[in-house]
């Protein structure tokens, strides 16, 4: 009888302690995710100090054999995360890939781009490090972090956020303030039982005529952690497996946790957000809406 009582007590203690253990583990994972974003932030700042500009979201290469002059979708392009590799202690990988040395991404589709980069993966994410089905096109090293391209609607060449195709912004372009504007956010591989669009650190397959946002960027067209719509929608969403929101990097290098309940306005689910900038989340994304947000 006494043994049964002891077993029952142990069972109750385990039931009480297990949630605490899980919370502690998630807190540790969230801290590591925050450290990853801080490292990315340092990489962006060091890149800017070196080249007096931020890296482009993606660059369409010159001389690609698949370029037919009509916006061919098959033209692969290196992305922002590939350009900052030397500034996050991944200079050897950058050198191996021949990035900025004229080597085309298509030459590395089964080689360098398959190398996973720990600093680009959130430890809370359960997706495969290489070749995850959640990756839209490039089935290489998966990435959980993406730059912001636009707040509500835009295009690769000129969104109202911090990053776009072919060329990079300068810090002075972020007129709302570096500490008030989102630069990078999370993108997870699975959410609410649905497969999301995991990013690729190497770059984008459709860098010339297609939409690269699903592979290297995110936008404010959709709510945080929203998985109710199409694959394109899920690919553009700020999302994470951290309960209640996602980690974000500000342009000043600081890291914040953004609640999924932050003010966001759209027409009706699952319609996207195409109205004028009219919510707190959008103000944080746009670099020059003249509505700097300090506390959120």
Q: What confidence tens digit (pLDDT) does each residue in 243-271 have?
A: 999 999 999 999 999 999 999 887 665 55
Complete DSSP assignment for 151-180: SSS--TT--SSSB-SSSB--GGG-TT-GGG
Least confident of 104-113, 147-156, 286-295: 147-156
Q: pTM of the predicted model, to two decimals?
A: 0.88
Complete DSSP assignment for 39-104: HHHHHHHHHHHHHSSPPPSB-PPSS-TT--SS--TT--EEBHHHHTGGGGT-HHHHHHHTTTTT--
CA–CA distance, 97 with 91 (Å, rounded to integer): 10
Highest mean pLDDT among 38-42, 189-193, 288-292: 38-42
Q: How is residue 183 written in tokens?
A: 């630069």
Q: Please give the residue that has the higher pLDDT: either 108 or 146.
A: 146
Least confident of 70-74, 99-103, 164-168: 70-74
Among 288, 33, 14, CA closest to 172: 288
* pLDDT surpasses 60 at 71: no
Highest mean pLDDT among 63-67, 149-153, 258-262: 258-262
Determine how many CB atoms are found less than 10 A away from the CB of residue 48. 19
Task: Place 62 in a pLDDT band, splitting at 50, 70 and 90.
Answer: confident
Least confident of 34-38, 58-62, 134-138, 273-277: 273-277
Task: Place 73 in a pLDDT band, splitting at 50, 70 and 90.
Answer: low
CA–CA distance, 68 with 73 (Å, rounded to integer): 10
């Amino acid at each position: 009888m006494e043994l049964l009582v002891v077993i029952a007590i142990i069972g109750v203690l385990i039931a009480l302690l297990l949630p605490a253990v899980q919370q502690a583990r998630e807190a540790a994972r969230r801290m590591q995710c925050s450290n990853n974003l801080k490292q990315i932030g340092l990489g962006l700042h060091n890149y800017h100090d070196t080249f007096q500009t931020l890296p482009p979201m993606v660059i369409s290469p010159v001389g690609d054999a698949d370029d037919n002059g009509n916006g061919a979708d098959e033209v692969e392009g290196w992305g922002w995360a590939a350009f900052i590799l030397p500034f996050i202690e991944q200079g050897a990988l950058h050198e191996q890939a021949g990035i900025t040395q004229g080597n085309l991404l298509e030459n590395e589709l089964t080689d360098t781009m398959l190398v996973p980069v720990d600093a680009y993966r959130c430890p809370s994410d359960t997706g495969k490090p290489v070749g995850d089905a959640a990756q839209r096109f490039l089935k290489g090293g998966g990435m959980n972090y993406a730059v912001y391209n636009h707040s509500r609607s835009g295009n690769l060449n000129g969104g109202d956020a911090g990053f776009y195709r072919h060329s990079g912004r300068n810090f002075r372009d972020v007129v709302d303030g570096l500490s008030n504007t989102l630069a990078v956010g999370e993108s997870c591989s699975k959410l609410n039982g649905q497969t999301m669009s995991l990013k690729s650190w190497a770059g984008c397959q459709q860098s010339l005529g297609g939409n690269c946002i699903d592979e290297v960027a995110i936008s404010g067209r959709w709510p945080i952690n929203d998985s109710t719509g199409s694959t394109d929608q899920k690919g553009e969403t700020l999302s994470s497996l951290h309960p209640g929101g996602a980690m974000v990097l500000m342009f000043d290098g600081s890291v914040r946790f953004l609640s999924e309940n932050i003010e966001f306005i759209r027409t009706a689910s699952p319609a996207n957000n195409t109205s004028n900038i009219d919510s707190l989340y959008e103000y944080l994304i746009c670099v020059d809406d003249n509505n700097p947000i300090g506390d959120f």
